[in-house]
């Protein structure tokens, strides 16, 4: 057992989406600036923070079991260990966590993460459990706010305060990475009937464009080559300041022009409604913008889309795909699909397959419907598609997509791609097709390594080269392909 050498050793575990990854990075920055040290093993820590996800039941189940194991660990090994549950599950499940997990010392929702340093200090001082949540879980329900028994800051000051988390980001060439996320919106107002995000992250708010541009500038100056703007529905971005109005298209163009040394600008996730041509025009003319759109359809059946409260039809979704292709014939799409949403029949499922084939996604994320307590779908519909059917439909969509992805990747064999080198490959063998041995060692001849990078279309490319290439844009000639990865050789 490692002896804890410092009272400020922090182990931070992150589940979920890019938003959580960014939140964890910002929390770490904030605490490092106050003298905390990040450790990679939980038994080296005297503070453990779990940044949680609530989107599907499985994500929450993992945290419940982890908290159960930590209760035993704390009792047997380190009674002074501070355990914090933060993020979406903290916001949604704070009552259950405080009742079922008395060894948890702090519970902090995503809208109050800027308060973590003072919460940790208060735990140390008072030994009392600290709670900071916004009460978003009551959104849309007629309740007396006092009933939630928590302080509920008004929305403006709440979002102003949480803005301080992003504004205090530690940016220096010492901790520079070639890619970075920058938040442009928080929360979501869409209220898709299956989704907990509006209840976990609260109403949609938009960051000041100057804050976003400054952050992108600083990150790029410090060494970032690719920035991904993130939000739940980025195309809804708009900001009004003293009579000046900034749309999402304006924001993209302003960033593109303000930071000419940025090699690539991406954004996720787009909502398939209110996606106007002004954004497509900017994407087409801004040469350093990625030719890639993540546009979750969720279903190919209009009946299911209505029950999901998505607010668009299959026809309008296809119209958007066609408009995007008219502006950028080479644009690639990623999608999300949910299988087994209540009342989904085989015919609805076949409509989803039809849509996948019609769009020809580059890649697709497929999820089995998971009823989430508190959502409209969970209240209104029985979870009436059997687990076996969900599994089969899940596989069927993935099989269709694997076929499309493989065909697309095969069509690129022999072409030369511009690749932004991201990292060393963790895969033992990235060359299943050519005969070069199983490369069980990451380091190859002359100090070269297996490297991974991405094209502007978000295709993953594996090749051999010097680790010094990480962060650079290189040319790679493709020699082979799987459905997930292109394999190639560096062109000098
Ligand atoms: N706009 C967000 C969506 C967040 S949730 C974004 O940035 O990606 C991510 C995906 O999880 C959704 O697009 C949806 O396909 C899936 N999802 C959300 N709630 C779900 C549920 N209850 N069951 C199954 N999948 C779900
Ligand atoms: Fe969820 Fe729909 Fe918003 S999927 S994040 S409520 S766009």
Q: Which of 196, 122, 211, 198 has the alpha carbon at shortest distance from 160?
A: 211
Residues 230, 18: contact at Cβ < 8 Å? Answer: yes
Q: What is the pLDDT of residue 149?
A: 39
The whole-angstrom separation of Cα 481 and Cα 4 is 48
Q: What is the pLDDT along the chain (492 residues), one digit of tens a residue?
A: 444 446 799 999 999 999 999 999 999 999 999 999 999 999 999 999 999 999 999 999 999 999 999 999 999 999 999 999 999 999 999 999 999 999 999 999 999 999 999 999 999 999 999 999 998 877 766 444 333 333 333 334 555 689 999 999 989 877 778 899 999 999 999 999 999 999 999 999 999 999 999 999 999 999 999 999 999 999 999 999 989 999 999 999 999 999 999 999 999 999 999 999 999 999 999 999 999 999 999 999 999 999 999 999 999 999 999 999 999 999 999 999 999 999 999 999 999 999 999 999 999 999 999 999 999 999 999 999 999 999 999 999 999 999 999 999 999 999 999 999 999 987 654 444 333 444 444 556 677 899 999 999 999 999 999 999 999 999 999 999 999 999 999 997
Residue carrying structure tokens 């995000």: 197
- Report the pLDDT value the prediction gives residue 136, as an integer from 0 to 100: 86
Distance 297 CA to ligand 1 centre (A): 10
User: Which two tokens mark 181?
Assistant: 């996320």
- Ligand 1 neighbours by CB, cut-off 6 Å: 17, 55-56, 194-195, 197, 232-233, 269, 296, 298, 336, 338, 367, 369-370, 372
CA distance 410 to 406: 6
Pocket of ligand 2 (CB under 6 A): 188, 190-192, 195, 197-198, 232-233, 271
For residue 220 the two structure tokens come to 């790029």
SS3 category, 183: strand
Residue 226 and residue 67: Cα distance in Å, rounded? Answer: 36
Nearest to 119 by CA among 92, 86, 152: 86
User: Alpha-carbon distance 291 to 275, whole Å?
Assistant: 16
Cβ–Cβ < 8 Å for 6, 45: no
Q: Are 202 and 156 a contacting pair, CB within 8 Å? A: no
**Exposure string (b/e) for 16-49, b if CB count within 10 Å is 16 or more?**
bbebbebbbbbbbbbbeeeebeebeebebbbbbb
H helix or E strand, kind and range, residue 258: helix 248-258
- Minimum-distance ligand 2 atom for the alpha carbon of 55: 1
Q: What is the DSSP letter of 188?
A: -
What is residue 242's DSSP assignment?
T
Say how many Å lie between the CA of residue 114 and the centre of ligand 1.
26
Q: Write down the pLDDT at residue 429.
A: 46
Identify the DSSP state of 451: E
Predicted local distance difference test score (pLDDT) of residue 359: 98
Measure the CA–CA gap between 17 and 201, rounded to whole angstroms: 12
3-state helix, strand, coil in the chain (%, to 5): 40, 20, 35
Tell me what pLDDT residue 463 has. 96
Tell me how far apart the alpha carbons of residues 290 and 334 are, in angstroms, rounded to a whole number.
13
Question: pTM score, two decimals?
Answer: 0.92
Q: Which ligand is nearest to the CA of 199?
A: 2
* Cα(195) to centroid(ligand 1), Å: 6
Give the closest residue to 484 by CA, choosing from 366, 368, 404. 404
- Name which residue sits closest to atom 3 of ligand 1, judged by CA: 232
Walk across the sheet containing 264-268 and list its strands: 179-183, 226-230, 264-268
Q: What spacing in Å lies between the alpha carbon of 193 and ligand 2's midpoint? A: 9
Residue 305: CB atoms within 10 Å: 24
Q: From the CA of 235, how far away is ligand 2's center (Å)? A: 13
pLDDT of residue 156: 40
């Amino acid at each position: 057992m490692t002896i804890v050498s410092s009272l400020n050793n922090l182990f931070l575990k992150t589940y979920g989406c890019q938003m959580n990854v960014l939140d964890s990075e910002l929390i770490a920055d904030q605490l490092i600036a106050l003298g905390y040290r990040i450790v990679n093993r939980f038994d080296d820590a005297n503070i453990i923070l779990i940044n949680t996800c609530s989107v599907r039941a499985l994500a929450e189940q993992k945290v419940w079991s982890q908290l159960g194991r930590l209760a035993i660990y704390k009792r047997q090994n380190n009674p002074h260990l501070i355990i914090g549950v933060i993020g979406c599950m903290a916001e949604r499940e704070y009552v259950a966590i405080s009742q079922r997990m008395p060894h948890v010392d702090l519970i902090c929702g995503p809208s109050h993460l800027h308060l973590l340093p003072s919460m940790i200090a208060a735990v140390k001082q008072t030994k009392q459990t600290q709670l900071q949540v916004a009460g978003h879980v009551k959104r849309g329900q007629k309740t007396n706010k006092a009933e939630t028994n928590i302080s509920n800051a008004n929305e403006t000051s709440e979002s102003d305060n949480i803005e301080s988390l992003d504004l205090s980001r530690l940016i220096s060439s010492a901790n520079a990475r070639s890619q970075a996320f920058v938040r442009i919106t928080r929360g979501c107002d869409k209220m898709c009937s299956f989704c907990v995000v509006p209840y976990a992250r609260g109403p949609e708010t938009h960051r000041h464009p100057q804050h976003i541009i400054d952050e992108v500038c600083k990150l790029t100056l410090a060494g970032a080559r690719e920035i991904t703007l993130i939000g739940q529905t980025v195309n809804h971005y708009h900001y009004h300041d003293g009579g000046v109005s900034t749309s999402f298209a304006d924001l993209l163009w302003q960033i593109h022009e303000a930071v000419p040394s940025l090699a690539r600008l991406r954004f996720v996730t787009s909502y398939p409604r209110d996606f106007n041509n002004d954004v497509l025009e900017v994407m087409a003319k801004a040469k350093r913008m990625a030719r890639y759109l993540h546009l979750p359809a969720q279903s190919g059946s209009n009946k299911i889309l209505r029950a999901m409260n998505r607010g668009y039809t299959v026809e309008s979704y296809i119209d958007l795909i066609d408009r995007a292709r008219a502006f950028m014939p080479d644009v690639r799409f990623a999608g999300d699909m949910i299988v087994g949403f209540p009342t989904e029949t085989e015919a609805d499922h076949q409509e989803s397959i039809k849509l996948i084939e019609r769009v020809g996604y580059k890649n697709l994320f497929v999820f089995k419907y998971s009823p989430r307590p508190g959502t409209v779908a969970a209240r209104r519909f029985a979870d009436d598609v059997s687990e076996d059917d969900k599994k089969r439909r899940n596989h069927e969509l993935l099989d269709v997509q694997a076929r499309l992805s493989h065909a697309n990747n095969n069509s690129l064999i022999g072409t030369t791609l511009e690749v932004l080198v991201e990292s060393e490959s963790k895969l033992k063998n990235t060359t299943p097709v050519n005969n070069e041995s199983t490369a069980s060692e990451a380091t190859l001849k002359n100090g070269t390594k297996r490297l991974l990078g991405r094209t502007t279309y978000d295709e993953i490319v594996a090749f051999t080269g010097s680790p010094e290439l990480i962060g650079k844009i290189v040319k790679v000639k493709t020699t082979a392909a799987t459905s997930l990865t292109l394999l190639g050789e560096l062109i000098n």
